[in-house]
A and B are shown apart, each in its own frame.
Chain A
Amino acid sequence: MWQAVRDELAPFGFEIVTVALDTGGVAAAGPWVERANATHPSLIDIAHTLDEVYGIVNVPSGVWIDERGSILRPPETAYPRRPGFLDRDVRADDPPHVRERVLAVKNLRIDADSYMHALRDWVQHGANSRYALSPDEVVRRSRGRTRDDAEAAAHFEVAQYLYLRGDTDAAVEHFRQAHRLQPDNWTYKRQAWSFADPTQGPTLLYDGDWLSDVQKIGAENYYPALDM
């Protein structure tokens, strides 16, 4: 989805770096990168280190970094265009759980037009763009990290290591700890759920699943409203 944006804006000194938060590694993310014919750097982050370092808790999240390596906007929901799943209708033959999911997804707050307008404005006007935030505002908007969040990061790191080593049962215990300690971290949850069930539905291994957890907070709160 982002390659077209890269093609459009690269002539103006712009580059995209994608980072796949995928414990499944190249086997999981590689086919997507290939299909996209991506010409931009496409990186893999099996341990979800971006969560700890940049304060990312959901995907897709974008961070703006200027020519000097300064952050102009901290992580925020970044879609290049309105995703098709927002407009998928419930079908008569959809089983109940699919119907529920389709309906929940419709309430996700995704404002791709505003995001892309701001991104193009920044690429054109640089520091003079009204969307380039002040240093104080960048820091203020970045997430805090509680003691529990920090401990969740440690558990997730153990979990992904154990999972890749094949110690699935032990990994689950640490995934669960990470979920308990930082319940609003969707990358930790969805990663683990996806290993148990590719649709991230209910399993015996985890207390939550995508639909139940989204319904708990309200789908409109899954992505924070963009504050451009």
Chain B
Amino acid sequence: MKRKNQRLALLLIAVAAMLGAVLLAMSALKDQASYFYAPADVRAKGLPLGRSVRVGGMVKAGSLQRQPDGVTIRFLVGDDTDAVVPVEYRGITPELFRENAGVIAEGRFRADGSFAATEILARHDENYMPPELAERNGRPVHRTDSVE
């Protein structure tokens, strides 16, 4: 093969591979992206059934219930509207999970409107607020580093 042709062939293969990667990524993103829902969104847009989503909000005061098996919990996630989503989770909750605190749960909705969480997102420090929530509450996302 001539030198010029070889360079051209390699270039074409590289471009084709990259195009293939982009197409593959786009089709996978469509199915695998997990959308964020606040309780109000669920009411407005309807239940997103059959796909993995994230539900975020505040754990309603007094709503946290432990089930008899000792490892399953149920709680209500609310936001600044009166919409709530009942969530069920089996597992050990992150250390900073509690009532009246922000939470993001990942999982799927059931047809009855309850949410089966596969994961409760751990917050890495005391001041952390999920960006999705902070924005919704009209506060800038800011984890203070100031000295108290």
- Chains A and B form a bound pair: no
A residues with CB within 8 A of B: none
B residues with CB within 8 A of A: none
